[in-house]
Structure 1
């Protein structure tokens, strides 16, 4: 063409004639070019339109196939729900497929809107699909309503089958119609392409240069369109190939076969992502050497792992010659390119393919691989769902087979019992024969009995004489018993008369010491402390008197248990080392080698004796040392009891270098209130009742006390007792039978009972000596030893180390010393009760994060959960429930992030609350509508929900009602956070659901942070500094009882004044009654009494009668009543509970215990 153009130019130069022809030629050329350009434009347009319609047809086919596939998935989920007997997990593919059908059906309508016939077909198909969905929905509703999973209505099944067949036929008709259109449009496309080629050739003859350019451009465009058409055909072929119910291996095999045929990939493999591993599920073209390699590999290993993580296709062009060989019978060769393709579904890599191709990488190949991976991933996701469903079905079948095996074993057992019954009948026949032989023997004995009758007559005469003596002894015993009764009554009344004023003195001295108004001097505060110390000494003395009276009456109970000598020695050392340091005395405890590790004795009484020895030693020693020696009795030690069993005795000696005791005074110090120095100028006080009680306790334990002392050189007190307690060694022993309270639980009674008898803290063997840093430790607080063993075994099976405590006092000590990971708690405990223990744990910053799960026979779940308990189970409990309780504790301590749902209609408030409680361990979801909140609670699990009552679509109370009625949701702990002023009725309604109610005010953010951290079990020390400051501010001015009404019933004005002085500053409104009659009148007169503090011993009507009268009123069945008594007799607590009290506190009242009781029973609501 350039040569021809040059010739024409040369002709123009030769003459005007040539110029004219050249102009004509150029004109003609330009005209032809314009015409040819128009034809080319038209051809291009037709080809483009043809390609568009081919693509459109493929889209219609693909979308129709997706609708049919999603309907199959929906039917699969429906069948899985039926076969799994109502397991909601199988409804997830059902719901997902339902959403996908709506989306794909809408897209299908959009695609065929240009074709009236196909539009009509789509409408018919849509009706058939929705008909099928309605049939499944009807069946699902029926299953949920009847819960009958054993049978299925044949008509429903047949109706569903016919409907599904109809859908398949309609979908097939649509696809047939589209295939016809595809054939027609492909033919038109080929015709257009042929016309374009002809036009190009014509242009070549007219203008080689321009035609060449046009040809190149057209050819490129044609290639691109052909490639796209090729790609669409291949994708359609792949979709058809992967259709059907294929498992993962079959799907992988067909996929690799497709790529082998399409991309000339003779060697390939596919791996499925399973947890942290990649498992090879299919290969193509592998030789034996490659197949022998491991089928599994780590997820982060090599190119495959990197592709899974990056979710991008990895290409390796021109791999090394020895990288991978392709072998066949005709020869071998190397691959030219390698592709590692991730299969990503919903932004998650579920599998990865490795293709080795003989051709180099090209753009069409890359596009085909990229677009086909989406189809493969989608089909693989469906295959995974089908695989999971199949596994669950097989598991169900295996369980059914196991049940059948157990039934067969039961039948065999019944047959064995039948055989045993036959053998028993034979034994009975033999026994009848033996009875006949015995009858003959009895006849012989009757003869001998006649001889003995004469002797019996003589014995009867003597028996009458003994009976007379017995009657006389019984009269004396009754007289002694009556005297003992009078003594007990005297001690009880004396205790009441002393404790009543003592109660007022201790409470008022405590208030003076606190100096809340700040108007007392240091000296006056010191006076108040002196008054309180003197009162406590007097209380201790009263308890000692009661102890001594029980010892003398032989009614002091002792409880035998295993005692670890090393642990006891360590406990004594910890207790007395500070005292020794303060007095600058040496203090040591030594144990002789060869002693047993444990002895059996009453630990509390043993420690009481040794501690009394040590207290006296330090009291009477100014300089030198105090030493404890645990050993066998020395050979020169004179023993009165058990002298023939020295090798079975343990001697505990306390030696001091104190003032010593003269020989003539050594017997006197064991008498009550005796003193070695009785002069008015004596330097030291006496021993009180301590040594007198110790001497009696030593005898009860089967041992004895020995004193060696020399004036001015010191003393040695030695306790000798058997290493194994024998009941015959002691004159009076009462077997330990823990008392059980069956009425409402006692919350915070003193660790000592009113009669001075400390509750026994029997140590049950646990893991306290084997606990290391990093161990998961659970503290089990339960007074039933048999149940403790069950709980311990369950805890250890779950991987916990176990601490055991049978009362609240020991539990508090273990909490302080060991900081367990969780607590399993009974409500009915001696000493500090369950609710009191929860209050102590949750009010202490160092322990409030520890999760507490309750297992009890008493239902006070609302109180316990409001105070921060993790869960509540009522006895009896099953092994599954126990496992669930420990699993809750495990989840709470192992889960680092807590989730909180904020329901607030004000967007600024939502953001403010979210920022207020935010932290690295807290995730928040915030919504403004009740409907949105309900949906989130149904889908997700939350640790806490913060709820405003004023919402646009419904009130917060209506939302709580809806959540309670929705059996498919688990309602999290709820904190009501609202600016609405609440009436008493509204508060009572909210109390059914809400664990805390906060009225928005000046201090409400601090209170909200406090409550959220409580329910999330957050470690306060790990909170952000701003939140820690908020918690501290919240506790400074917090009045938890603001506005609560308490009725105080007590006839002693001193007690009334003291308690009012202590409680009114806490925000309580106190109403006073002087006896039971006035209390009943006050309850009728004053509306809204929240709690009653009831004294027992009152004139006119006592506390027992008043409580019974209150409980007769149905409206006051739920009114909390706390009994207060100063009468120190056994059984007072049980009598109070039986009369209707919810709790019991002995006088003198400990203010901390009283406040714990009030927090447990009074709802804390108000503005903060």
Structure 2
């Protein structure tokens, strides 16, 4: 196996010397280690053994001091004798611990030392401390008895014997260590001589091996070079060297030189073949095809495309002219026919004049096809072809392998010559084209010369006629200039009229917004108070009836306002269609719930039919559909004195769908409302859908109303993609049929666009004001509050009503207090802030928007800046009812929103929700 480690000759020599030095150093380290070890053992004997003996003597001395001090104190009673006793008692344990740690390598001696410690502690316990305590207590007789027995004498004798045995053992250990040191010294001397002999043998062996390796490698290199010289200098031969030193480097460089020489010869040969191929080519397509066919095998390319730059400045493109191994002819779907500069990688290559190389190409990039199958290339190369610094063509290659550096170099050099060839062929083709054009123009000139000679005679005749015509044209020009000035004046007048119309539309919008507020504000208090009066048990039946009439009239006025505003929203195109799933099976139940009582009051049969084939789920704007059906059913009951009203829900007849629907749907419902009422004359059936129009439009008509309901129904139906068809006969009833398609997501956008077209159709003379969605109409039945109020929820709750209209505050306060609510009133936003700052707490705030001093928006923003009111429920009340009022209120800090006139059922529902969250 060939070595992969590189060693130079100098390295080999240095390694030889280094090996010898290393061996010598290792020997010195070994000897030094042995000497150090011996020194440590010697120091251990000196330091350890002497320290052990010293500590042993010190401990024994401390005991003698303690015994002397104890006896002196018991005899004299002098406290000074206690000093050596106490000092010895403190220090003997420290020396004991130090001595115990020094002999931790000798467990036997540690056990002996533990026995000494036990004896010392026993003496202190039974003799030392006892005698001192007796003396301190002046118990002289007990002291005399103590010394007669002298319990500590046995301990002192035992300690002396134990210390003597301990010291003797340590002396024996010291002698053993000294003998071991002498034996190790003799072994070290023998080992040193053996190491020196081994180092000498190893150095000699390394020198012989290194010199042999150097000489053998040089002989091998010289022999190989001689064989190359003898074979005539063939560049195909290579020097085989197994070493990796300077001689190996020399052989490697020689092989690289031979390889470079061989590649250069290959490049020159192939380049000469490619350049020679250009000779005689006169067509750019043939040139490109020939170049691709020749270069593809040399590059191992499996696919190639040749693009030529064509067109004039500003409209230049790289047009596909020739291809190699492409599937089909030029213009196939597998590659683009042309690219603009900077478009795609081909266009970017031309724009930047630099090659682009792609690797790891995706599998679906392009397919290389053969008779056996197909595969995706792994490498793409896009190269510019330039002439005098300008890119005139681009070539794109694809290969199943990878482009080698040699192939890329061949391509670069070939492209330099190709640029000149392309420019030459292109120039030649341009010259031939110009020559053909010149010949054609010469023939045309000859023909035109003959024609001009003939025309010259005619021109002489026409000159007189032209002079007369010029005079007439000058007169016409003066007349045209006059007309232009008049048209300019008309344009200026139209612009001024347009501005006036826009200003008028703005005035109208402002008027509707202000009128909405001004009408709803007094209407709010009128509805609430009339409802309270109608439910007041203290009034007579006639008075209650009067209140109910007032409440009913207010509701009629509210419906009129809402109808006008709904129509204005349609005309302005500001109604959004929200498509969602609707349950068709629930639709009859909803309509029955809303109109069943009305049918009972009028004595009319209310029939509902649901087609079994009707779908359970239908996509539409459910809210708009309900509004259409409510208007149609309200009209049916209004104009029917006896008989029946029938609501039928089913699938539309396919033959009528294409005729009736402006927007096609995947499924179409047919919802009809039929009545047995007065009917509609044939000449009035179209007019009833116009705003403010009725079948009977006289002032003495029997049935009231504004005539807006059917107009709103028709516009809502058009917004939903459907239509309404009426079938009626005077005196025999009417049938209104709504054809409604199912709306999907894509149709929602179409309907929104259609809503703008509807607004454009009806905007002439319309109201054009975007308003917020209206709520459900006021309930007219009695006892609204008992039906909606839970006494337990509202009892004891504190509510702050903020409104500048005293009528509204009076009405709201009356209704809320009847429900058990503690109500406080503020006339504007500033008074609200003052009350919140002074009062202890409020559970909920009802905030009007349009107020003097500080309006509702500003008040809510300031409230939300106060940390203790961050979660205080605030319900915004507004009579303006504009389109984005809800969003503006919520953004300002409102918890919820309700428009005036207030529906007390809705208001109590909102209050219940927010009060239960507190």
| TM-score normalised by the chain length of structure 2 | 0.41
| TM-score for the superposition, normalised by structure 1 | 0.32
Larger RCO, structures 1/2 (Cα 8 Å, 6+ apart): 2
Name the structure with the higher helix share.
2
